[in-house]
Structures are given as C-alpha cells and as structure tokens.
C-alpha cells in the first residue's frame, strides 16, 4: 500500500528520494541540515513584505549511517541521536548551524512557475540563492524536573 500510494501521489517523490538516499539516515542530529517546507511572509511595519524560506546548514558537515550501521544502531540504541546531541552539549561541543533565507518578491510569486506555497516544491537556488543571516548554536540542554500529575477524573 505504501508504494501504491506514492505511485498515485507523486508529490512526495522528493522526500522519498531523500529518505532512501545516503542522507536518509543521519548519524547525528548535529550533522543534519534543516529547512522550512512552509513559505513565510516577513512583513515590515509599513506593511511591505517578502516571501521567505529558511534553511539551516550544519557547520559540522553531513554525516549519515550506512544501511548496515543504521540497522545495528536502530536495533541496539534507538535513542542514539538524542543522546549524541545531549552528550555533545554536555561536553561543551556546541553544535552550530548557519542560517540562510531565500527571499522572493510578491510580484515574482504571482507569476512563478508553480504555487510557492506548495509543500512538495522547493525554490531552486539558481532562482533564489541562499542568503546567510545568522548562526544557531545549541549551548545548553533542557533541564526539566518531572512531577507526576494527579489523574484527571
């Protein structure tokens, strides 16, 4: 049923290609890029705006498991990625990502070759290059004290 669904709904083929590629199984969350599927509207106080997509590129580089490594880790250490990130931060090896945006003028959106709000499409970098705007650093872990709640009746 899975493959039949994708055969008849090919909008998701980009994600399938990513999932089943060498980049589909990250060896660490620290070594994974991220990007917004959604298109955002950034508005100035005067009411003018631009459409943007956000990208975070790992400064640690991309690292993925082979199929054999992924199978072994999934079977023996299902919390590997979360623990790896937590322990790196505890060691003060703070992971960083360079933040980029793609910017589109509203006039371009009206005549672009596809609907810019379509989650199954990406904006080609040749049309809308990545513009660096900052850096994200994870420099502390969440500290939560667990307090059991009374059952709701």
- Whole-angstrom distance, CA of residue 138 vs CA of residue 106: 34
Torsion of CA 21, 22, 24, 28, to 10 degrees: -170
Instruction: Report residue 72: phi and psi, to 5°.
Output: -65, -50
Fold classification of 2-137 is: Catalase HpII,  Chain A, domain 1 (2.40.180)
Q: What is the pLDDT of residue 137?
A: 98
pTM of the entire structure?
Answer: 0.80
Domain spans of the chain, in order of start:
2-137
- Whole-angstrom distance, CA of residue 136 vs CA of residue 143: 19
Q: What is the pLDDT of residue 103?
A: 98
Q: How far is CA 57 from CA 5, 34, 60, 80, 153, in A?
A: 31, 7, 9, 21, 47
CA neighbor of 127 nearest in space, from 153, 148, 109: 109
Q: What is the pLDDT of residue 76?
A: 87
- Whole-angstrom distance, CA of residue 32 vs CA of residue 43: 29
Q: Which residue has the tokens 């672009």?
A: 112
Consecutive 10-residue runs of the chain (153 residues): their mean pLDDT?
81 74 83 92 98 97 89 86 92 98 97 91 95 97 70 53
- What own/partner pairs with CB < 8 Å and gap ≥ 24 does 73-81 have? 81/26, 81/28, 81/29
95 three-state secondary structure:
coil
Torsion of CA 71, 72, 77, 82, to 10 degrees: -50
Q: What is the pLDDT of residue 146?
A: 57
Q: What is the pLDDT of residue 149?
A: 60
């Amino acid at each position: 049923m899975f493959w039949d669904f994708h055969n008849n709904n090919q909008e998701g083929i980009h994600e399938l290609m990513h999932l089943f590629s060498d980049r589909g199984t990250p060896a660490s969350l620290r070594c994974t890029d991220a990007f917004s599927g959604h298109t955002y509207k950034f508005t100035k106080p005067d009411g003018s705006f631009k459409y943007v997509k956000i990208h975070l590129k790992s400064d640690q580089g991309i690292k993925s498991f082979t199929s054999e490594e992924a199978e072994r880790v999934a079977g023996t250490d299902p919390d590997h990625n979360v623990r790896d990130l937590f322990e790196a931060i505890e060691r003060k090896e703070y992971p960083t990502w360079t933040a980029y945006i793609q910017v589109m003028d509203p006039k371009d959106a009206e005549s672009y070759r596809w609907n810019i709000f379509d989650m199954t499409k990406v904006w080609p970098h040749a049309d809308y290059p990545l513009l660096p705007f900052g850096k994200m650093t994870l420099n502390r872990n969440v500290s939560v004290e667990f307090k059991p709640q009374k059952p709701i009746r």
